[in-house]
Every structure is written in structure tokens, then in C-alpha cells.
């Protein structure tokens, strides 16, 4: 028997969520004696319908219906500029609703049972208890390709300094990022009040003169991660609808496609020219968007090769994207991200 | 006059015998029991360092223990896994855990797998390298603590961070160049399972199968009983003596694939059995087998 689905009977009397009956959320026929009859019409993920939780958690249900974790609008926004108007219609009908949207998180995916990834779930978080937060069993699964394993060091080999100090997702990412604030955003980049390094590490509090001077020199020119990402992170390549992508570690520096005045860490996104070909989408405007996007690798360290020596960037130019390194068949926009650091004048 | 000379001679003999031991004198045993830890949890000098993942620590931990995840103590460097952090980074980790050079540290980990078991000895090695001598491992780790139904907290204890500037102990650390210079001179112990030593198996991260020329086989998984506790000192001593001989003063270098597994026998030899000059080769076969000039032996028990 799949143990992950067993309910801890001890909680039934103690948790108000069970004060009525299982069928209040899961439907089915609780009076039936036959298993098949009892499970007829059963809903596996009841909180997919936010109205199930809304009677008690009205405010959250109201904002969550617009939240990016529920709408998954960010996935659509990330590629839509590559489509013609006609192609966007096809994408919305054939790809977004059937594929991208299927990844949205219901309330239960974060509070009751680990989300299903590639058909696999790790099961109930705690015997069907309603759990406030359990990042290692919830966030870690959907963000288990990039971000979470980089954060814990399982990918890349060096954990993020914040993880080393005992912090997990919600110590930086606050409730509103999950439950939403009521506004309908198309991308997480539109959101205000995102976590930022300077919220906890304001400029001017550096302990050493070297750090102070390095920060002053590079302010507004480089993202914090450019110097403080400890090393390689996952880059995904060659995604094809229905088949998935391949990945390999890499560390890439270049101009931020959202703000070409700053240098930042870039991550390869796996969309290639024929990603949606099986859905009949050729991507007429493929070249408009780059294949490299700004990223904050969650493998931050106080000291890295780049903080230890100016030469790593200014002489060796390590990690900086070059024309030769650009992915083959990539978008023309990629070339606009190349930056060659200057030698330091003595 | 004769009596006085004899007195001085006896004193000299005693000092000669005991001084090397004094160098490794410990205030706490290298392996501590759950009962001992329970009794000493409120000792202001004692710091129990839980090296399990943050999520596991938050789920339940030993009262007063702090969490410094294993990955803080062993990092990836230049393509090699489980490397020592740079000295200043290591001092930051030790300091942020509130550990002083004179602290008594008990390393608490999991015992689910062999890797989990040697994570504890590897952290102990790293702390001792960083200049903290009194480091112990909790016998049976958190698993046995839980099995014994000892108190488990869910509170997260925030350590009192301090500035730590220790003196690194290079005498317990070996580089590839050092290992090469000691072939035929020091005892080299391969602590992987025999099929890895013999060369019929290898990890993907290791370029070629086989062992360092002249190395002897003494697998680290054999240190532990099935329940994740250490085998008794007599048995461990007999295993070591059977392979390395009884001369505890001979220089010994332990290696494995990435420098993690070998910390098991490093810990047993130096900290439990009192071997006086034991080093661990941090880069181990992941580094060694990449070097085309490093002598590697396959399909031989010698």
C-alpha cells in the first residue's frame, strides 16, 4: 500500500478541518460500503477549486485566485512575445491550458500533500494534517530542478550561505508572494516588495574596506549575484513540448536583458526554435527574446573567486558570455547580452 | 647522587611515553553516548552541532543543539567534491556557530546510510583541522537519540556568533603531492569498499579504477555496527592492527573517493585508537585518478 496516502487517524478529532466529514471536500459517497461506490465522484485535489477553502479563508482565497502560483501567468508571459497573434491563440488553446496551467498549485499542494511532479507525489506532508509551511516537501518539489537543490548544495556542491545559517524559502519570500496581493500580475518581475539582498545587507555596513570599496565601485553596474553566486547552477537546454529539456551546470555572466545597464548572472532558458512545433507553432518572433535571462542563483556565498580577486573578471574574464559560447540556433537577441569586462587602469 | 640520576631518568622516560599522548589529550571522549550527551547538554562549554539538513533539524532536534548543515563543512572546489572550505570561510562557519577553540563540540548526524555516518566524522575532522581539538561524535547519531525516546525539541536554537580565528592543523591534511611523496614510506589506507580498491568498481566521478600504489584496504563502512553505532574499541583496534600493524607512531594517510569516507578511519585511528600521525587526503581518488603520472594499481590486493 502507498503509505503516503494513509491518514493519521489521531488528527481527525483534533483538527477543525475534519469537523464535518471527508466528503465535505472530497465528495464521493461516505455512506456507501462498497469501495467503488464510495469513491464515485471523488475529487482528489479539492482545493483546486478555491471555493472549498474560501468559506473559512476568504481573504486568502480572494487574493490567491490572482496569484502567480495559481494562474501560472508567468509561464505564458515568458514566451508570448515570440508568437504572432495567431500563434498566441494556438498556444493558449493547445499548450497553456493543457500543459503550463496544469502545474498551478492548489491550496492543498502547499498545505496538505506534496505537489505532483512528473506524475509523482511524495504524499501527505504529515498524515493529512494541514501544515502551515514545509518548504522541503512543497517548494522544493516544484522548484526542485533549479533553485532548491542549488540552495541546499545538492546541485553545484556548495549550499547557499542562507541555508547554512538555517534559513529556508519563507524566511526571505513572504506570504504575499505565495498567496498574492490581489493584483493580477503577468510575471513575478512586476511584483513590488520582492526579497532583495539590500533589505538585510544595506550598503555601508561592510566590515572590511575591501568589501566597502568593491561595493561602491560596482553599485548599479552589477547585480549582487554576479560576484556572490558561489559557482555553477543548472541551465536547461533544448525543450520540446511533451519531451522536456536537458540540463547541465554552468556559470554565465552578461548584460541583464531587462536592464542592459547592469551585468548579472544569466541562465539559459530551454525554449528553442522548434519547442512548440508539435503544437503547430513556429514562433514567428523567436528572435525577439534572448535565450539567456537574468537569474539569482540560490547559491550565494560571502567570498567567491570573484570577490577574492579582481583579475578573475578584469583579466581572465571568467564566466562572461562570448559570441563563441552562444547556443547554436539561438535567438538573435542573445548577442545583445555579451559584455567584455575592461582591464583595470593602474 | 645515583638515586637523583635515577629519578631524572624515570621522569624522562615517563615524559617520553606520555608527551605524544598529551598532544592529543582530550577533555571529552571522541565518541559520546546519548546518555552522556543528555547529562551534559547544559554544560556551557558544550555545543551539539546538528549537521542534518535544515528541514530535518526543524522537524525535531536535540535540546540546545544548533544546526550547521554538512554542506557548510565540505564544499565543491575546482571540480572536486567534499573539499575543505578556504580557511577564512571555515573560520566564519565555526564562528557563526558560536564555537571557540576551547569548546567541547559533539557532532550529531543521521545514520541512515554510510555517507550519513561518515558525514559526522568528516565534520569532526574539519573542526579539528580548524583548530578545535575537543570534538566528539554522538554514537548512533540522531536516529538512536530518537529510538531511545530522548527529548526532542522543535525550537530552532540561534547560535551566539563570534569572531573565530583558529590555527589550522595542517598535520592532519594531505594533498596529492604529499601522498605521491609518501608512497612506500607512509601507510596509505584505502577506505572504500574492497571492489573499489581492487578496481572492479568505480564511481562516475572518478576517472580510473584502482588504488594508490602501495595502499592497503580498510573500508570505513566496517567501522559501524548495523544500528549505526561505532563498533567497540577492541574490535576497531584489532581491525586496524591487522592491516596497519601495531606501530601507532607510523605515518598513515587515509583516502577514498572524495575525502569523506576516509574521515571514518581517520577518526578511529587518531581519535579513538591514538595513532599519532594520521592524515586524510581531501582530494582522494577523484583528484588522484585524473593525474596520468600518479601510480594507480588495479586487480591486485597490494
- pLDDT of A180 reads 95
* Inter-residue contact B172 to B270 (CB < 8 Å): yes
Instruction: Report H helices in chain B.
Output: 2-23, 34-40, 54-59, 87-96, 114-129, 141-147, 176-182, 194-198, 233-244, 262-266, 284-288
Q: A161, A195, A229 — which closes off a domain?
A: A195
Interface probe for B, chosen from A137, A166, A301 (most Cβ of B below 10 Å), is A166
| Residue A266 lies inside a defined structural domain of this protein | yes
Number of H helices, E strands in chain A: 16, 5
Q: Does the B31-147 domain belong in CATH 3.40.50.1100?
A: no
- pLDDT of B105 reads 98
Q: In this complex, do B55 and A135 lie within 8 Å of one another by their Cβ atoms?
A: yes
| Residue A3 lies inside a defined structural domain of this protein | no
The nearest alpha carbon in chain A to B78 belongs to A231
- pLDDT of A16 reads 87
pLDDT digit string (tens) for chain B, length 302 residues: 555 665 655 555 444 444 444 445 789 999 999 999 999 999 999 999 999 999 999 999 999 999 999 999 999 998 999 999 999 999 999 999 999 999 999 999 999 999 999 999 999 999 999 999 999 999 999 999 999 999 999 999 999 999 999 999 999 999 999 999 999 999 999 999 999 999 999 999 999 999 999 999 999 999 999 999 999 999 999 999 999 999 999 999 999 999 999 999 999 999 999 999 999 999 999 999 999 999 999 999 98
Q: In this complex, do A164 and B93 lie within 8 Å of one another by their Cβ atoms?
A: yes
Q: Which of residues 221-260 of A touch B (CB under 8 A)?
A: 231
Q: In this complex, do B92 and A153 lie within 8 Å of one another by their Cβ atoms?
A: no
- pLDDT of A1 reads 38
Measured between beta carbons, the chain B residues lying within 8 angstroms of A231 are 76
* Inter-residue contact A134 to A282 (CB < 8 Å): no
B207 lies within 8 A of chain A by CB: no
- Shared domain for A300 and A327, answered yes or no, is yes
- Shared domain for A188 and A298, answered yes or no, is no
- Shared domain for A155 and A249, answered yes or no, is no
The interface predicted TM-score of the complex, written ipTM, equals: 0.85
B75 lies within 8 A of chain A by CB: yes
- Shared domain for A181 and A324, answered yes or no, is no
Q: A167, A195, A223 — which closes off a domain?
A: A195
- pLDDT of A30 reads 85
A3 lies within 8 A of chain B by CB: no
Give residues with Cβ within 8 angstroms of A345, minimum separation 6: none
**Are B31-147 and B170-297 the same fold in CATH?**
yes
Alpha carbon distance A257, A263 (integer Å): 9
Interface probe for B, chosen from A114, A143, A165 (most Cβ of B below 10 Å), is A165
User: Per residue in A16-48, pLDDT tens?
Assistant: 888 888 889 999 998 899 989 999 999 999 999
| Residue A63 lies inside a defined structural domain of this protein | yes
* Inter-residue contact A253 to A226 (CB < 8 Å): yes
* Inter-residue contact B286 to B258 (CB < 8 Å): yes
- Shared domain for A170 and A213, answered yes or no, is no
- Shared domain for A317 and A239, answered yes or no, is yes
- Shared domain for A247 and A300, answered yes or no, is yes
Span A158-173, average pLDDT: 94
| Residue A4 lies inside a defined structural domain of this protein | no
Q: In this complex, do B67 and A135 lie within 8 Å of one another by their Cβ atoms?
A: no
User: Per residue in A216-269, pLDDT tens?
Assistant: 999 999 999 999 999 999 999 887 766 778 899 999 999 999 999 999 999 999
Angstroms from B5 CA to nearest CA on chain A? 59
Helix (H) or strand (E) holding A253: strand A252-256
Angstroms from B173 CA to nearest CA on chain A? 21
| Residue A230 lies inside a defined structural domain of this protein | yes
| Residue A19 lies inside a defined structural domain of this protein | no
- pLDDT of A145 reads 87
Measured between beta carbons, the chain A residues lying within 8 angstroms of B57 are 166
Q: In this complex, do B55 and A167 lie within 8 Å of one another by their Cβ atoms?
A: no
| Residue A31 lies inside a defined structural domain of this protein | no
The nearest alpha carbon in chain A to B87 belongs to A303
Better-scored residue on pLDDT, A19 or A80: A80
Measured between beta carbons, the chain A residues lying within 8 angstroms of B89 are 301-303
Q: Domain containing A285: what range?
A: 197-346
Segments making up each domain of chain B, as ranges: 31-147, 170-297
Better-scored residue on pLDDT, B174 or A156: B174
- Shared domain for A190 and A210, answered yes or no, is no
Helix (H) or strand (E) holding B296: strand B296-297
Q: In this complex, do A134 and B55 lie within 8 Å of one another by their Cβ atoms?
A: yes
Q: Which of B88, B96, B158 sits opposite A303 (nearest CB)?
A: B88
Q: Which of residues 162-201 of A touch B (CB under 8 A)?
A: 163-168
Per-position DSSP letters for A116-180, written without gaps between them: PBTTB---BSSTT---S--GGGTHHHHTTTTTHHHHHTTTTSS--HHHHTT--GGGTS-HHHHH-
Alpha carbon distance A88, A279 (integer Å): 11
Nearest to B254 by CA among B213, B234, B284: B284
Angstroms from B56 CA to nearest CA on chain A? 9
Computed from CA positions of residues B115, B121, B126, B127, in that sequence, does the dihedral angle turn out positive or negative?
positive
A156 lies within 8 A of chain B by CB: yes
Q: Please tell me what DSSP assigns to residue B298.
A: -
A135 lies within 8 A of chain B by CB: yes
Angstroms from B72 CA to nearest CA on chain A? 6
- pLDDT of B7 reads 61
Angstroms from A124 CA to nearest CA on chain B? 15
Q: In this complex, do B54 and A301 lie within 8 Å of one another by their Cβ atoms?
A: no
Q: Which of B53, B76, B89 sits opposite A152 (nearest CB)?
A: B53
Measured between beta carbons, the chain B residues lying within 8 angstroms of A303 are 86, 88-89
Phi, psi (5° rounding) for residue B21?
Answer: -65, -40
B156 lies within 8 A of chain A by CB: yes
Mean pLDDT of chain A, nearest integer: 91
Q: In this complex, do A167 and B54 lie within 8 Å of one another by their Cβ atoms?
A: yes
- pLDDT of B143 reads 98
According to CATH, the topology of domain B170-297 is: Oxidized Rhodanese; domain 1 (3.40.250)
- pLDDT of A241 reads 66
Q: Of the given ranges (A9-18, A87-96, A142-151, A305-314), which has the lowest mean pLDDT?
A: A9-18
| Residue A296 lies inside a defined structural domain of this protein | yes
Span A139-149, average pLDDT: 92
Q: How many CB pairs under 8 A join A and B?
A: 51
Measured between beta carbons, the chain A residues lying within 8 angstroms of B68 are 164
Q: Which three cell numbers stand for residue B241?
A: 592492527
Q: A160, A195, A230 — which closes off a domain?
A: A195
Measured between beta carbons, the chain A residues lying within 8 angstroms of B156 are 166
Q: Which three cell numbers stand for residue B279?
A: 592524515
User: Per residue in B239-289, pLDDT tens?
Assistant: 999 999 999 999 999 999 999 999 999 999 999 999 999 999 999 999 999
Give how many domains chain A has, as a whole number: 2
- pLDDT of B5 reads 63
Interface probe for A, chosen from B76, B79, B85, B205 (most Cβ of A below 10 Å), is B76
Residues in chain B: 302
- pLDDT of B23 reads 46
Amino acid at each position: 500500500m502507498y503509505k503516503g496516502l494513509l491518514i493519521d487517524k489521531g488528527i481527525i478529532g483534533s483538527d477543525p478541518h475534519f469537523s464535518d466529514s471527508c466528503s465535505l471536500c472530497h465528495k464521493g459517497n461516505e455512506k456507501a460500503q462498497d469501495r467503488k461506490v464510495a469513491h464515485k465522484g471523488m475529487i482528489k485535489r479539492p482545493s483546486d477549486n478555491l471555493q472549498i477553502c474560501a468559506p473559512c479563508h476568504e481573504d486568502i482565497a480572494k487574493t490567491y485566485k490572482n496569484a502567480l502560483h495559481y494562474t501560472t501567468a508567468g509561464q505564458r508571459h515568458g514566451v508570448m512575445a515570440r508568437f504572432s497573434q495567431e500563434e498566441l491563440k494556438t498556444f493558449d488553446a493547445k499548450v497553456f491550458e493543457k500543459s503550463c496551467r496544469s502545474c498551478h498549485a492548489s491550496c492543498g499542494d502547499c498545505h496538505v500533500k506534496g505537489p505532483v511532479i512528473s506524475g509523482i507525489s511524495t504524499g501527505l506532508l504529515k498524515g493529512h494534517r494541514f501544515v502551515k509551511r514545509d518548504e522541503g516537501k512543497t517548494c522544493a518539489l516544484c522548484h526542485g530542478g533549479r533553485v532548491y537543490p542549488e540552495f541546499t548544495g545538492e546541485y553545484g556542491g556548495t549550499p547557499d550561505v542562507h541555508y547554512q545559517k538555517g534559513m529556508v524559502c519563507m524566511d526571505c519570500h513572504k506570504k504575499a508572494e505565495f498567496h498574492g496581493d490581489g493584483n493580477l500580475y503577468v510575471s513575478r518581475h512586476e511584483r513590488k516588495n520582492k526579497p532583495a539582498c539590500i533589505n538585510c545587507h544595506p550598503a555601508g555596513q561592510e566590515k572590511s574596506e575591501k568589501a566597502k570599496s568593491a561595493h561602491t565601485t560596482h553599485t548599479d553596474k552589477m547585480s549582487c549575484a554576479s560576484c556572490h553566486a558561489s559557482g555553477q547552477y543548472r541551465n536547461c537546454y533544448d525543450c520540446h513540448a511533451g519531451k522536456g529539456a536537458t540540463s547541465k551546470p554552468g556559470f554565465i555572466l552578461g548584460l541583464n536583458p531587462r536592464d542592459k545597464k547592469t551585468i548579472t548572472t544569466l541562465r539559459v532558458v530551454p525554449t528553442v526554435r522548434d519547442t512548440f512545433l508539435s503544437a503547430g507553432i513556429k514562433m514567428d518572433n523567436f528572435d525577439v527574446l534572448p535565450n539567456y535571462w537574468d537569474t539569482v542563483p540560490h547559491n550565494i556565498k560571502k567570498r567567491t573567486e570573484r570577490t577574492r580577486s579582481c583579475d578573475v573578471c578584469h583579466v581572465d574574464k571568467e564566466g562572461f558570455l562570448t559570441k563563441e559560447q552562444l547556443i547554436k540556433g539561438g535567438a538573435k537577441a542573445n548577442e545583445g547580452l555579451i559584455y567584455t569586462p575592461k582591464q583595470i587602469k593602474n | 647522587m645515583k638515586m637523583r640520576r635515577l629519578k631524572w631518568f624515570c621522569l624522562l622516560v615517563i615524559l617520553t611515553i606520555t608527551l605524544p599522548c598529551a598532544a592529543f589529550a582530550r577533555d571529552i571522549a571522541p565518541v559520546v553516548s546519548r546518555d552522556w550527551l543528555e547529562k551534559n547538554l547544559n554544560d556551557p562549554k558544550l555545543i551539539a552541532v546538528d549537521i542534518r539538513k535544515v528541514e530535518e533539524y526543524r522537524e525535531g532536534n536535540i535540546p540546545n543543539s544548533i544546526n550547521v548543515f554538512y554542506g557548510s563543512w565540505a564544499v565543491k572546489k575546482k571540480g572536486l567534491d567534499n573539499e575543505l572550505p578556504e580557511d577564512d570561510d571555515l573560520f566564519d562557519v565555526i564562528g557563526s556557530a558560536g564555537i571557540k577553540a576551547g569548546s567541547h563540540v559533539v557532532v550529531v548526524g543521521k545514520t541512515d546510510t554510510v555517507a550519513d555516518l561518515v558525514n559526522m566524522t568528516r565534520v569532526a575532522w574539519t573542526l579539528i583541522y580548524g583548530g578545535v581539538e575537543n570534538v566528539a561524535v554522538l554514537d548512533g547519531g540522531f536516529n538512536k537519540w530518537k529510538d531511545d525516546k530522548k527529548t526532542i525539541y522543535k525550537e530552532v536554537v540561534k547560535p551566539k556568533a563570534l569572531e573565530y580565528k583558529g590555527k589550522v592543523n595542517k598535520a592532519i591534511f594531505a594533498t596529492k603531492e604529499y601522498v605521491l611523496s609518501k608512497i612506500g614510506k607512509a601507510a596509505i589506507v584505502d577506505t572504500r569498499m574492497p571492489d573499489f580498491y581492487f578496481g572492479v568498481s568505480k564511481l562516475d566521478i572518478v576517472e580510473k579504477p584502482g588504488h594508490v600504489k602501495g595502499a592497503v584496504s580498510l573500508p570505513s563502512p566496517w567501522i559501524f555496527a548495523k544500528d549505526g553505532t561505532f563498533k567497540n574499541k577492541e574490535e576497531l583496534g584489532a581491525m586496524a592492527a591487522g592491516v596497519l600493524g601495531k606501530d601507532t607512531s607510523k605515518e598513515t594517510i587515509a583516502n577514498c573517493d572524495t575525502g569523506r569516507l576516509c574521515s571514518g578511519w581517520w577518526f578511529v585511528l587518531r581519535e579513538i585508537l591514538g595513532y599519532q600521525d594520521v592524515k586524510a587526503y581531501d582530494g582522494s581518488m577523484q583528484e588522484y585518478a585524473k593525474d596520468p603520472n600518479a601510480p594507480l594499481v588495479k586487480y591486485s590486493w597490494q
